Structure 1
Amino acid sequence: MNGLEAPWEELVTTALLGTERRAAPAAAGADDQAAALLDLAAVGTVRRRAGLRPAEAQALPEQAPRDPRPPLPTAARRRLALLLSDRTGAGSGGSRGSAPNLGELLPQWLHAARGHGYRAPAALLPALLDAARGRSDLRRDALALAGPRGLWLAGLNPDWKFALRAGPAAVASPEGGGGENSGDAERRLWEEGLFAERVGLIARLRARDARAALNLLRSTWADERAEDRLLFLDSLREGLDPDDEPFLEEALADRSKNVRATAAELLSCLPGSALAARMAARARACVALEPVGGGHRIVVEAPYECDAEMQRDGIAPKPPTGRGERAWWLGQLVEASPLSLWTERFSRSPEEIVALAVTDDWRGDLHAAWSRAAVRQRDALWARALLGAPPRGHDPQGKGPATEAASGVGAFVVGPVGTAGDPAKLLSVLPHGERALWVARFIGAHGLSEAFQLLGVCAVPWSEPLGRAVVDALDIAREAGNYPWSFSGVMGLAERCLDPAQADRVDALTAIPETDGAPGAGNYWSEVFQRLASTLRIRAAMLAELEAGPGER
Structure 2
Amino acid sequence: MDSTDLAADGWEPILAAALLGAERAPPGGPGPLGDLVTEADPGSALLARLALHGIHHLAGLDLAADAMEPVAVREPAGPECPPAAANRLYALLTGGYATRERLREWFDLAAAAGMRPPAWLHQALLRHTQHLPETVGAVAGAELDWLARACGEDPAAAPAASDWTEGTLAGRRAAFADLRARDPEGARMALEAVFRKEKADIREALVGTLWTGLSEADAPFLEACLDDRAGGVREAAQRLLPRLPRSLYASRMAVRATTALVIESKSRLLRSATHELVVTLPEESPALARDGVEPHAWEQRGGGVRAGLLRDILARAPLHAFAGHPPRLWIELALRSEWAEPIVQGLFSAVAREGDPAWARDIADLLAEAYEGKVSGLRRTNELLGRWVQALDLLPEPEWEARVTELIRARKIEAVLAILAKGPDSFSERFSAALIDWLAFVIRGSDDLRRDLAKPYVIGRLGERLWPGEDIAATAAALAARLPEEEGGDRLRQQVMSLAETLELRVAIRREFQP
TM-score (norm 1): 0.67
**Alignment partner of 1:187 is 2:181:** no
Structure 1 CA distance, aligned partners of 2:87 and 2:494?
Answer: 31
- Aligned partner (choices 299, 302, 310) of residue 281 of structure 2: 302
**Inter-CA distance 531–59: structure 2 relative to 1 (3 Å threshold):** same
Q: Deviations over 1:127-182 (max 9, x none)?
A: 2233332x2xx331223322223234446779x99x72xx448xxxxxxxxxxxxx
Structure 2 CA distance, aligned partners of 1:261 and 1:464?
Answer: 43
- Aligned partner (choices 205, 210, 213) of residue 236 of structure 1: 210
Structure 1 CA distance, aligned partners of 2:148 and 2:354?
Answer: 40
- Aligned partner (choices 360, 363, 368) of residue 383 of structure 1: 360
1:232, CA displacement in angstroms? 2.5
Q: How does 1:168-187 map to 2 (within 5 A)?
A: 168=158, 185-187=160-162
Q: Deviations over 1:303-333 (max 9, x none)?
A: 23x3322222222244545252221222222
**Alignment partner of 1:354 is 2:324:** no
1:470, CA displacement in angstroms? 4.7
1:302, CA displacement in angstroms? 1.3
Structure 1 CA distance, aligned partners of 2:446 and 2:322?
Answer: 47
Contact 2:436 2:476 in 1 (8 A): no
User: Could you list the runs of 5+ residues in structure 1 that have no partner in the other structure?
Assistant: 1-49, 92-100, 170-184, 393-401, 403-413, 546-552
1:336, CA displacement in angstroms? 1.7
**Inter-CA distance 527–274: structure 2 relative to 1 (3 Å threshold):** closer
Q: Secondary structure of the equivalent of 2:232?
A: helix
- Aligned partner (choices 90, 114, 121) of residue 84 of structure 1: 90
- Aligned partner (choices 273, 288, 297) of residue 247 of structure 2: 273
1:541, CA displacement in angstroms? 0.8
Find the counterpart in structure 2 of residue 496 from structure 1. Answer: 464
Q: Secondary structure of the equivalent of 1:356?
A: helix
Q: How does 1:235-384 map to 2 (within 5 A)?
A: 235-292=209-266, 294-304=273-283, 306-322=284-300, 323=302, 324-343=304-323, 345=324, 348-356=325-333, 361-384=338-361
Specify the code of the residue in structure 2 equivalent to 1:541.
R
Specify the code of the residue in structure 1 equivalent to 2:218.
D
Contact 2:227 2:290 in 1 (8 A): yes
User: Could you list the runs of 5+ residues in structure 2 that have no partner in the other structure?
Assistant: 1-56, 373-378
**Inter-CA distance 145–389: structure 2 relative to 1 (3 Å threshold):** farther
Contact 2:299 2:305 in 1 (8 A): no
Specify the code of the residue in structure 2 equivalent to 1:434.
E
1:271, CA displacement in angstroms? 0.8
Find the counterpart in structure 2 of residue 199 from structure 1. Answer: 173
Q: How many residues align?
A: 438
Q: How does 1:98-109 map to 2 (within 5 A)?
A: 104-109=101-106
Contact 1:368 1:420 in 2 (8 A): no
1:276, CA displacement in angstroms? 0.6
Contact 1:374 1:426 in 2 (8 A): no
Q: Secondary structure of the equivalent of 1:291?
A: strand
Specify the code of the residue in structure 1 equivalent to 2:350.
A
Give the alignment's Cα RMSD to 1 decimal: 4.2
Q: Secondary structure of the equivalent of 2:399?
A: helix
1:358, CA displacement in angstroms? 6.4
1:289, CA displacement in angstroms? 1.1
Q: Secondary structure of the equivalent of 2:422?
A: helix
1:479, CA displacement in angstroms? 5.5
1:373, CA displacement in angstroms? 1.0
RCO higher in structure (CA 8 A, sep ≥6): 1
**Alignment partner of 1:469 is 2:443:** no
Contact 1:389 1:438 in 2 (8 A): no
Contact 1:186 1:201 in 2 (8 A): yes
Structure 2 CA distance, aligned partners of 1:130 and 1:424?
Answer: 43
1:486, CA displacement in angstroms? 4.2
Specify the code of the residue in structure 2 equivalent to 1:314.
G
Q: Secondary structure of the equivalent of 1:430?
A: coil
Contact 1:367 1:420 in 2 (8 A): no
1:274, CA displacement in angstroms? 1.1
Specify the code of the residue in structure 2 equivalent to 1:70.
G
Q: Secondary structure of the equivalent of 2:71?
A: coil
Find the counterpart in structure 2 of residue 10 from structure 1. Answer: none
Structure 2 CA distance, aligned partners of 1:513 and 1:420?
Answer: 29
Specify the code of the residue in structure 2 equivalent to 1:341.
A
Find the counterpart in structure 2 of residue 435 from structure 1. Answer: 400
Find the counterpart in structure 2 of residue 147 from structure 1. Answer: 141
Specify the code of the residue in structure 1 equivalent to 2:106.
W
Find the counterpart in structure 2 of residue 129 from structure 1. Answer: 126
Structure 2 CA distance, aligned partners of 1:416 and 1:526?
Answer: 29
Contact 1:297 1:358 in 2 (8 A): no
Specify the code of the residue in structure 2 equivalent to 1:445.
I
Find the counterpart in structure 2 of residue 69 from structure 1. Answer: 77
Specify the code of the residue in structure 1 equivalent to 2:319.
L
Structure 1 CA distance, aligned partners of 2:139 and 2:286?
Answer: 51
Structure 2 CA distance, aligned partners of 1:540 and 1:51?
Answer: 46
Q: Secondary structure of the equivalent of 2:86?
A: helix
1:221, CA displacement in angstroms? 2.4
Q: Deviations over 1:477-499 (max 9, x none)?
A: 47556589945665553333322
Q: Secondary structure of the equivalent of 1:310?
A: helix
**Inter-CA distance 82–489: structure 2 relative to 1 (3 Å threshold):** farther
1:110, CA displacement in angstroms? 0.9
